[in-house]
């Protein structure tokens, strides 16, 4: 999407115990860069949290903090190459050059998403506890320079969380819409168990549709 276009990055649904029951990555800004290197590598790579990341040296769209995503077209598996060799060892061997490496923002693993969701659950609660006013809600919006996190908690305690471009409008209506989609396509599915991860094709489809509509049109009309 071109500059100025709006985007919704992802959606999280958290149950009242803080468990992540649904997650969708809708749109990820493309930051991947692929480049062919000759020996020696002119970037400093370091292992960090089961990944290999750029620690120093920033050029051609490759930035500090980017992770090694693929080597010679094959996706890496954490700190190991596709065929099970240590990435750093592989890259320190001149015999393996020239080598093509793809760098980018590392993708959150399902485990990391689970952890972040339950962290936000607590943060939301802390927000309402710290408040100087009585009857304060938890965190409804969290703003950064690259995205805004919007959270809507239902009276029954389910949280719908949407991460979007800071300029994206109509998120409140979108959150209500997602609640409706949840009450229709998850809860009315007799084979869906409450509080459990939502694996419903119809829920997926309708949610994606709602996100696309929200991106194009901005605010929803009433009752839509």
What whole-number distance in Å separates Cα of residue 170 and Cα of residue 153?
A: 17
Apex CA 209: angle with CA 161 and CA 29, to 5°? 60
Return the residue of 100, 136, 146, 205 that touches another protein, per CB under 8 A.
136
Of 3-11, 30-38, 44-52, 130-138, which part binds another protein (CB under 8 A)? Answer: 130-138
What whole-number distance in Å separates Cα of residue 66 and Cα of residue 31?
A: 9
Cα-based distances in Å from 116 to 57, 61, 86, 140, 202:
29, 28, 28, 16, 26
The DSSP call for residue 221 is: P
Return the residue of 120, 147, 182, 203 that touches another protein, per CB under 8 A.
182
Q: Under rule CB under 8 A, how many of the chain's residues touch another protein? A: 31
User: What would the two tokens of residue 213 be?
Assistant: 């509509």
Judged by DSSP in three states, 61 sits in coil
Return the residue of 180, 205, 209, 217 that touches another protein, per CB under 8 A.
180
Binding to another protein, residues 147-176 (CB under 8 A): 153-158, 176
| Residue located via tokens 């309708």 | 206
Return the residue of 184, 199, 208, 209 that touches another protein, per CB under 8 A.
184
Of 3-11, 26-34, 67-75, 129-137, which part binds another protein (CB under 8 A)? Answer: 129-137
Binding to another protein, residues 187-216 (CB under 8 A): 187-188, 190, 193-196
- The binding site for another protein (CB under 8 A) comprises 16, 124-125, 127-129, 135-138, 153-158, 176, 179-180, 182-184, 187-188, 190, 193-196, 223-224
């Amino acid at each position: 999407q071109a500059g100025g276009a709006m985007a919704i990055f992802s959606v999280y649904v958290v149950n009242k115990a803080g468990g992540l029951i649904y997650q969708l990555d809708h749109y990820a800004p493309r930051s991947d860069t692929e480049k062919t290197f000759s020996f020696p590598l002119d970037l400093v790579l370091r292992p960090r949290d089961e990944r290999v990341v750029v620690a120093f040296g920033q050029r051609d769209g490759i930035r500090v903090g980017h992770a090694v995503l693929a080597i010679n077209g094959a996706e890496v598996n954490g700190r190991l190459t596709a065929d099970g060799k240590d990435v750093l060892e592989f890259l320190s061997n001149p015999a393996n050059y020239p080598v093509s490496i793809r760098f980018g923002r590392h993708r959150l693993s399902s485990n990391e998403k689970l952890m972040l969701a339950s962290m936000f659950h607590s943060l939301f609660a802390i927000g309402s506890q710290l408040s100087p006013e009585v009857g304060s809600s938890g965190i409804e919006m969290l703003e950064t320079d690259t995205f805004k996190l919007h959270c809507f908690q239902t009276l029954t305690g389910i949280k719908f969380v949407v991460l979007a471009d800071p300029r994206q409008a109509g998120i409140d209506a979108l959150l209500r819409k997602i609640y409706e989609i949840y009450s229709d396509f998850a809860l009315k599915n007799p084979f869906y168990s409450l509080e459990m991860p939502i694996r419903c094709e119809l829920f997926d489809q309708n949610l994606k549709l709602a996100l696309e509509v929200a991106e194009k049109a901005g605010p929803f009309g009433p009752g839509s």
